[in-house]
Amino acid sequence: MDIRKPNDSELETIIQLSPQAIIDGTMGEVNPTKEKTKQLIEHLTEKGSYYLIAIDNDILMGWIFIGENRDSLTDKQNGFIYELFVREAFRGKGVARQLVQTAMNQLKQNGFSEVRLSAFAGNHVIKLYERMGFHIRTVSMSQSL
């Protein structure tokens, strides 16, 4: 498996599959249009965020979208994982772990001393993040009205 930045064709595939990644990541609570997803991606890439892909034999297995984010209370810039997605056929094979580890290494090389992310409560990926040393920092709550 190779982990690297995608070429233009691979990036287009990611953009096409990203709505499903968002649906999976939000456990079905968010179902964005392709246009809305593309707008979100473009907004973050304009600010320097980028994808890393896991690829084997020219098959895209998954990706991670990383960049920086400013803490609204301290103004500290942190590395940030915006999206992690592994295609269903490749789940349970260590792809997500390798993507996260590579992303953390790159963010550290870029000068960040901390990496943050957000995940929906109940998402199974939280267990992976915890095994990799992430811990709960804040809790966001909601109530329907």
CATH number at 106 reads: 3.40.630.30
Tokens of 41: 């991606």
Tokens of 80: 């940030």
Q: Are 97 and 132 in contact (CB under 8 A)?
A: yes
The answer to whether residue 145 is domain-embedded is: no
How many domains, in total, are found in the chain? 1
Kindly state the average pLDDT of the residues 37-66.
95
pLDDT at residue 86 greater than cutoff 90 = yes
Tokens of 104: 């953390």
Closest CA to 64 of 45, 44, 46, 86: 86
Tokens of 78: 């942190």
Domain boundaries, position 50:
2-131
**pLDDT tens-digit map of 91-122:** 999 999 999 999 999 999 999 999 999 998 88
Kindly state the average pLDDT of the residues 130-139.
93
- State pTM to two decimals: 0.92
